[in-house]
Amino acid sequence: MSENKSGEIISTFLLGGIIGAALGILFAPASGKETRSRANDWLEDTTEKTKEKLEDLQDEIKKRKEQLLKHN
């Protein structure tokens, strides 16, 4: 599988998870204040996890780029 296909699959999976979690929060029976609080907490957690995943992907890209340059 090429890197582009892998990236597309990961992106699609992450997007699906984000949409599912957002819908779960929005449709859960709770007060407006509680729902906003949960949504904010979820957004902060998701933002942090996304940053970590992007850093991991950047490290992996650098590693593979270095490997390709060594072979050329």
Q: Which residues touch 32 (CB under 8 Å, ≥6 apart)?
A: none
pLDDT tens digits for range 5-60: 777 788 788 888 888 888 877 777 777 788 788 888 988 988 888 888 888 888 88
**Burial classification of residue 14, based on how many CB atoms lie within 10 Å of its CB (0-12 exposed, 13-18 middle, 19 or more buried):** middle
Whole-angstrom distance, CA of residue 42 vs CA of residue 19? 12
Q: How confident is the model at residue 3 (pLDDT cuts 50, 70, 90)?
A: low
What pLDDT does residue 38 have? 82
Tokens representing 39?
Answer: 């949504």
